């Protein structure tokens, strides 16, 4: 890797590149030019070359990119060429939807444990996982090799869920709850808020109607 200071936007685009490349591979495309890849990803070819340059040299002049090799290289660069075990806290509507979303497994993220503080849910099985009280997360995390936490609780319980994950030495957190959480600086947090995207769409529509 050429630089540790890689823009967050670049990481986001790399995820798009992987998705597009995997679709191309399924359609029987073994090689693709930077121009065609750029069009498929809705960016320009110079942006793709700039993004990939953070991680090394890719592509063959006059040929393009070998699709499988590029997928493998990007996954290695992002650290997703292995399985990451995840703990989900909050088995409500959002949590159950994510547990049913089997693309997590295909993309290298295995939700290996589910936690909820609701007594009516504790002990039940969902998607072959027994729902456990979050107070047991600290003892189960090292035994199961859990590294990533996914918070899908109501907003007023998000910080408590985060505290359980921190106490269990979880290395990173994805927060779907519409609330900000406080964690130590060494633990990266990503927020997934659908309203951010709805606001952006509404704004763009409003601009277009002026």
Distance CA(158)–CA(170), nearest Å, equals: 15
φ, ψ dihedrals at 63, nearest 5°: -115, -55
pLDDT(129) > 60: yes
C-alpha to C-alpha distances, 131 to 29, 113, 150, 151, nearest whole angstrom: 42, 8, 14, 14
Same domain, 65 and 146: no
Q: Is 169 annotated as a binding residue?
A: no
Interval 47-66: pLDDT, tens: 998 999 888 888 787 788 99
* Residue 64 and residue 96 in one domain: no
Residue 144, annotated ligand binder?
no
Domain CATH code at residue 170: 3.40.50.720
| CA–CA distance, 10 with 154 (Å, rounded to integer) | 31
The count of structural domains within the chain is: 2
- Asked whether the beta carbons of 192 and 176 are under 8 A apart, the reply is yes
Please tell me whether residues 161 and 183 are part of one structural domain.
yes
Domain hosting 57: range is: 8-76
Dig out the tokens for 66 from the structure: 């070998």
Q: What is the pLDDT of residue 102?
A: 83
- Mean pLDDT, the chain, rounded, equals 92
- Domain boundary residue among 76, 103, 118? 76
Query: Are 65 and 45 part of one and the same domain?
Result: yes
Q: Read off the pTM.
A: 0.87
How confident is the model over 73-101, as a mean pLDDT?
93
> Quick one: DSSP state of residue 179?
S
What b-and-e string marks burial along 156-185, b requiring 16 or more CB atoms within 10 Å of the CB? Answer: ebbbebbebbbebebebbbbbbebebebee
Cα pseudo-dihedral 46, 194, 120, 99, rounded to 10: -30
- In whole angstroms, give the CA distance from residue 210 to residue 29: 43
Please say if the pLDDT value at position 88 is more than 80. Answer: yes
**Secondary structure class of 189 (helix, strand, coil):** strand
Identify the band that residue 2 occupies on the pLDDT scale cut at 50, 70 and 90: very low
Residue 111 scores a pLDDT above 90: yes
Residue 94 labelled as part of a binding site: yes
Paired strand residues for 178: none
**Same-domain pairing of 68 and 100:** no
pLDDT at 31: 94
| 45-53 and 34-41 helices, crossing angle to 10° | 100
Cross-strand partners of 32: 65
- Cross-strand partners of 86: 111, 148
């Amino acid at each position: 890797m050429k630089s540790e200071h890689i823009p967050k936007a670049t990481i986001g685009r790399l995820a798009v590149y992987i998705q597009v490349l995997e679709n191309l591979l399924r359609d029987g495309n073994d090689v693709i030019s930077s121009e065609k890849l750029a069009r498929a990803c809705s960016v320009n070819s110079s942006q793709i070359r700039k993004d990939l340059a953070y991680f090394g040299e890719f592509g063959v002049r006059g040929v393009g990119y070998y699709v499988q090799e590029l997928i493998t290289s990007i996954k290695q660069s992002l650290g997703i060429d292995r399985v990451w075990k995840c703990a989900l806290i909050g088995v409500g509507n959002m949590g159950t939807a994510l547990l049913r979303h089997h693309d997590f497994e295909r993309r290298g993220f295995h939700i290996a444990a589910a936690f909820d503080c609701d007594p009516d849910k504790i002990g039940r099985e969902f998607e072959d996982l027994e729902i456990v009280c979050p107070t047991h997360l600290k003892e189960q995390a090292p035994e199961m090799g859990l590294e990533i936490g996914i918070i899908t609780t109501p907003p007023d319980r998000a910080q408590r869920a985060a505290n359980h994950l921190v106490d269990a030495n979880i290395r990173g957190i994805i927060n779907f709850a519409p609330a900000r959480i406080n964690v130590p600086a060494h633990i990266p947090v990503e927020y997934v808020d659908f309203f951010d995207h709805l606001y952006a769409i509404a704004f763009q529509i409003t601009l277009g109607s002026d």
